[in-house]
Structure 1
Amino acid sequence: MKKWLLLVGVVIIVISIVAFNSKFYYPSLPVNSVSKREVLESLNDSSKEIVKIAEENGYDWFITRNEQGKAYENLKRMVSEKGWQFKNQEGSGFFFEKDDKKLIATTEMWTGNYVIVQIRKN
């Protein structure tokens, strides 16, 4: 009986470790080419405030932390560094202009701690 309980305990521990490492408890991502774990590791391993996580379906995808609402400032700073000028925000869309071109960055909360950003590739 003790061997049986020990075996069940070991199985539960192994399953818990695998589940924790896979980050299954986070909501699904809007991109399919990377896992939740890879996305979080890329942000944690980077010294940048906003990190590119994927290129998929004609869009660049980024993630940033939402620490005290800084996520949107990180987005504006990143796009502005590429020569775009922030014009306005409507809902989750951020509108930028450069010369006669327009750029829209769409944001999505991913848990309470992270914001996912989608920008059409130019």
Structure 2
Amino acid sequence: MRKRGLVLGAASAVLVALVGFLFVMNRWFYPPLPVPDVSAKEAVKKLEASDRVLAELASAGGVRWYIDRNGEGIGAVDDAVKRMSEAEGWTFTSKEGAGLFFEKDGERRIATTRIWNRKYVLVKVQDL
């Protein structure tokens, strides 16, 4: 009888581990977002529903947050940020680390990219 209890305990542990693995692998878990008032699931849904490369997540206080896929690497995300900013009249001036710097009419804009997880990149755009 004692042996049967050990077998059931081991089987339960394997089942819990399997369910946990499936939970993570099925995108039920995402790291926390630094974006105010937007959940991780909402962010992914906004990107999936968007017809744009960069999907806007939130905008407040001179800061806009976007999400993009990380399929082609951070360089592709940088290019998308450049195209978006240039379409708004900003001129790309330089890149330093994760920061992209733009200027327009004597004002400066900084866009920073951050890998959120292996599939997605977050972009924070600040007008200074």
If the length of structure 1 is used for normalisation, what is the TM-score?
0.76
Within 5 Å, which residues of 2 pair with 1:61-76? 61-69=65-73, 70-76=76-82
Query: Which amino acid letter does the alignment assign opposite residue 68 of structure 2?
Result: T
Other-structure match for 1:31 = 35
- The structural deviation recorded for 1:114 is 1.2
- The structural deviation recorded for 1:117 is 0.9
- The structural deviation recorded for 1:120 is 2.0
Q: Which has the larger radius of gyration?
A: 2
Query: What CA RMSD, in Å, does the superposition of the two structures yield over aligned residues?
Result: 2.4
In structure 1, stretches of 5+ residues that fail to align are 1-11
Say how many residue pairs are matched.
107
User: Given the alignment of the two structures, is residue 59 of structure 1 paired with residue 63 of structure 2, yes or no?
Assistant: yes
User: Contact (CA 8 Å) 2:110, 2:127: kept in 1 or not?
Assistant: no
Structure 1 Cα separation of the partners of residues 100 and 111 of structure 2: 5
Query: Which amino acid letter does the alignment assign opposite residue 126 of structure 2?
Result: R
In structure 2, stretches of 5+ residues that fail to align are 1-15
Structure 1 Cα separation of the partners of residues 124 and 108 of structure 2: 15
- List structure 1 runs of 4+ shifted beyond 3 angstroms: none
Secondary structure of the residue aligned to 1:89 is strand
Other-structure match for 1:47 = 51
Q: State, as a whole percentage, how many aligned pairs show the same letter.
A: 37
